Amino acid sequence: NDHFRKYLLSTVVLLILLKVDITEIPVFKRAEGETITVKCHFSTTARKKYFCKDECEDDDILIKTDKNRAQSGRYSISFENRGRVLSVTIKQLIKSDSGLYRCGLDIALSIDPYSEFRIIVTNGELLLTNMKM
């Protein structure tokens, strides 16, 4: 009976790890200078919303607000309560904008629901050379 519990526990842990590993993160490719807007869908709502890059530590937070709309430089965020959609926008993309992003809801005393996505910023010239005239 004890062996069965260990087997069951290791199977559950393995399944959890596999689920995390096989979850695909959406990738968006855009050229330098373009604007991108990504919509993050949630099953709940919250007062605080955020948009961050990489590890989402202090310096990685691009916007954190308790309003439904906010802007900071090239970054903006808007939340539609009815559809529970958080839209995040980056204007005038530059190469260093390439990376992993997260848009989420900050819920006190709970695990924050969030969506992750990756942006790859390409040279604008590359897109033009691939087009047939």
- Which CATH number covers residue 43? 2.60.40.10
Does residue 72 belong to any structural domain of this protein? yes
Check if the beta carbon of residue 14 is closer than 8 Å to that of residue 75: no
45-86 pLDDT, tens digit each: 888 999 999 999 989 999 999 999 999 999 999 999 888 999
Q: What is the CA radius of gyration of the chain?
A: 19
Does residue 6 belong to any structural domain of this protein? no
Q: Give the tokens for residue 91.
A: 């204007």
Does residue 80 belong to any structural domain of this protein? yes
Does residue 2 belong to any structural domain of this protein? no
**pTM for this one?**
0.76
Does residue 76 belong to any structural domain of this protein? yes
Does residue 69 belong to any structural domain of this protein? yes
Does residue 5 belong to any structural domain of this protein? no
Any residues with CB less than 8 A from the CB of 43 and at least 6 apart, and which?
84, 113
Domain count within the chain: 1
